Amino acid sequence: MAETLVRVEGVEKTFQSGQVEVLALRGLDLVVEAGEFMAIVGPSGSGKTTLLNLVGALDVPTAGRVEVLGQDLAELNRHQRADLRLRALGFVFQAYNLVPVLTARENVEFVLELQGMGGAQRSARALKTLEELGLGDLAERRPGAMSGGQQQRVAVARAVASRPRLVLADEPTANLDSDNAQALLGMMRRLRDEEGVTFVFSTHDPLVVSYASRVVSLRDGQIVEDERKEMDA
């Protein structure tokens, strides 16, 4: 039986928008098992990004329980949640969140350095990951001298270089052409198959959905469909 990495139980999340309280997630239940390649789909405003932020310990639910790697996030303080993110989770944000004064290689090395990896190993891992994403010749270029799609791939390289247990990716192919998107998804699938990295994507991209082993559909903050496919479909 597969290991449970994430357990979401009865989760609600509300936000204040001016004078109006918006219910983004409504009593949501979800289990993510090790080795999944999961796509979370749904229209804008359905709760996809909110769910990723809760699973990634970047936010806390208004009600309900979120458990990641056996730890109830409500029982962790801010520093403990930050340590969990550093040691076990990788993130790909829509806004990239690259450090503008660092090169592509240095951006990818940043998390590895925080984890205590030595300089030579860190540099080799960063360069190998960039090369796998077709960015080897841009390793010493800063984000401001790259296209949006190139920055997107650097952000992915940073997220996966440390081989985290779980990668959470918010629209990872949004700024990529089909060739680069397929290369990216192929590399992520290899990491799942060869190194056991689990992936959860928020996406509107049919290509990501076609690669996914499981597709969870959200609407109005609730799961309306949960389809499991063959792992290598």
Q: How large a percentage of the chain has pLDDT more than 70?
A: 98
pLDDT higher than 60, residue 231: no
Task: Locate all alpha helices (DSSP H) within 4-118, ordered by sequence.
Answer: 48-55, 78-88, 104-114
Q: Which helix (H) or strand (E) is 57 found in, with range?
A: none
Sheet with 166-170, strands from edge to edge, namely 89-92, 166-170, 198-202, 37-41, 214-219, 222-228
> CB–CB of 29/218 below 8 Å?
no
Look at residue 230 in the predicted model and tell me its pLDDT: 66
Q: Residue 231, exposed/middle/buried by CB under 10 A (0-12, 13-18, 19+)?
A: middle
pLDDT at 233: 41
pLDDT at residue 95, as a whole number: 83
pLDDT of the residue at 93: 87
At 51-91, the pLDDT tens digits run 999 999 999 999 999 999 999 999 999 999 999 999 999 99
pLDDT at 232 over 60: no
Among residues 225, 213, 217, 216, the alpha carbon closest in space to that of 188 is found at 213
From 200, 205, 192, select the one nearest 232 (Cα to Cα).
192
> Average pLDDT over the chain, rounded to whole?
93
Domains assigned to the chain? 4-228 (3.40.50.300)
